[in-house]
Amino acid sequence: MTTDGLYERLVAYVGCPAAVAGEGRDPVNTPMIRHWCEAMGHPVPPDGTAPAPMLQVWTMRGLSGPGDTGGGGSRAGAYDELLTLLDEAGCTAVVATDCEQEYLRPLRPGDRITFDAVIESVSPRKATRLGSGYFVTTRMDLRADGELAGRHRFRILKYAPAGTPGDRPRRPRPVVNRDNAGYWEGVERHELLIQRCSSCGTLRLPWLPGCNSCGSGAWDTLPACGRGTVFSHVVVHHPPFPAFDPPYAVALVELAEGVRVLGGVVGVPYEKVRIGMPVTLEFRHADGEPAVPVFRAEV
């Protein structure tokens, strides 16, 4: 099948149902509004209506519900067929990319919610950083007591993961966020930085936005001297991950400073790792991979 032929088959699903005859689990109600406002830090509307961004909440089926089409409901056969077609074309990975909502009338306690969803569009094949694939947009029309109250558009990318078979598999990337960016910047220049509370001096690792002892948000860092001992360890056999070569030992190392950190143990066969074994910090910097701390056993 040519790529163009596939696109024509995908586009044939536009306008087909993605979910049919969905019903909200509960009518719009004050306790859910109040809990949602508390969780989101949103003011409770004084007129008792539901905040508009709650739209999708009323359509969700909970953890035990059937397959999710971006808002619950009974997934229709056409949507499954479309996804299967993409799977068969090698677009086996999926990521939710964005959603968009329109609010047409306020929802009030007592409103009974029903909804339907259609496959609204399928993009031509696009190249993305994750891999190449197709954006699929579904549109859910949500009704309150039968009256159209809002629309929820939900877009996914179904894609063939970048990298062809035979490439050396890559290790998972560290998850870098605002709270731990400084830690990973340190690792990149081969320094393991321990956070130190500016108020009470308590050391902490992994990095956190505030001190667990005194609550202060002020901190500086202390570079680890690099000495430590194995506090605990596991030997990983399963699950196999393509970038790793099991079995291998991973230790929770107690650093000389008193905080603990996870890392691979090198320089000794995995079955020789023991609790209390002295280890020294090193940084592993495989080709094209970010640096990671590892611990060399002193034997």
Taking the complex as a whole, the smallest distance from the CB of residue 287 to Zn ion amounts, in Å, to 40
213 makes contact with Zn ion (CB under 5 A) = yes
Nearer residue to Zn ion within complex by CB, 197 or 255 = 197
Closest of 101, 83, 198 to residue 150, by C-alpha: 101
214 makes contact with Zn ion (CB under 5 A) = yes
Give the binding range for Zn ion (CB under 5 A) out of 44-52, 174-182, 210-218, 228-236. 210-218
128 makes contact with Zn ion (CB under 5 A) = no
Site string (170-209) toward Zn ion, x via CB under 5 A = ---------------------------x-xx-x-------
> Does residue 8 sit in helix, strand or coil?
helix
Q: Other CB atoms closer than 10 Å to residue 209's CB: what's the count?
A: 10
Kind and range of the H or E element at 181?
helix 181-188
Give the binding range for Zn ion (CB under 5 A) out of 8-16, 157-165, 211-219, 284-292. 211-219
Closest of 87, 166, 95, 79 to residue 128, by C-alpha: 95
Label the pairing between strands 292-297 and 260-266: parallel
Kind and range of the H or E element at 264?
strand 260-266
Nearer residue to Zn ion within complex by CB, 30 or 216 = 216
216 makes contact with Zn ion (CB under 5 A) = yes
95 makes contact with Zn ion (CB under 5 A) = no
Phi, psi values for residue 37, rounded to 5°: -65, -40
232 makes contact with Zn ion (CB under 5 A) = no
Partnered with residue 266 across adjacent β-strands are 296
Q: Which residues bind Zn ion (CB under 5 A)?
A: 197, 199-200, 202, 211, 213-214, 216
